[in-house]
Amino acid sequence: MQGGRRAGGPVRRHDMGVGMQIACLGFTVSAAVEAEAGAQLVRLERFRALIDGCHLAIDARTVADGACLYDVRLDLVMHDATLRSLPPCVGVDVDDALRRAFAQAEQALIAWQAGAATVALRDAATGDAIR
């Protein structure tokens, strides 16, 4: 790690379940953030028939008033290695942004599982998914 940037991040895989790679920009990931991400990953385990894993990117940036703003992005890795990018979840609380990102992924996967892939992809592309 250099300058608070973490390039690769840890890869988590649970007993042949869904794996996760975490990358952080602008801060060093803490054990608490890793634990929250791992807890949220459990939400996606039931979709392992659809996905191999996910890439979680957390970007911390300072805004005009000096507050830290977290931009959390989640890409789902499908079985054919296609990445499905979801809209970012932004907020001042990294745990809240993580929970919203995984809730959004869960809703998209439910829609895809139900055969509504076109609607889910359109919503993700236009930002109409859960905020």
**Can you give the residue ranges of every domain in the chain?**
11-126
Q: What pTM was computed for the model?
A: 0.75
Instruction: Give me the phi and psi of 119, to 5 degrees please.
Output: -65, -45
Which residues 6+ apart lie within 8 Å of 48 measured at CB?
A: 17, 18
Would you tell me which CATH number, out of the four given (3.10.20.740, 3.90.79.10, 3.30.160.100, 1.10.3720.10), belongs to the domain 11-126? 3.30.160.100
- Rounded CA separation 59/90 (Å): 9
Q: What is the full per-residue pLDDT of the chain (131 aa) written as tens digits?
A: 333 434 455 544 444 578 999 999 999 889 999 999 999 999 999 999 899 999 999 999 998 899 999 999 999 999 888 999 999 999 999 999 999 999 999 999 998 888 755 666 667 777 765 54
From the list 84, 107, 20, the residue with the least C-alpha distance to 58 is 20
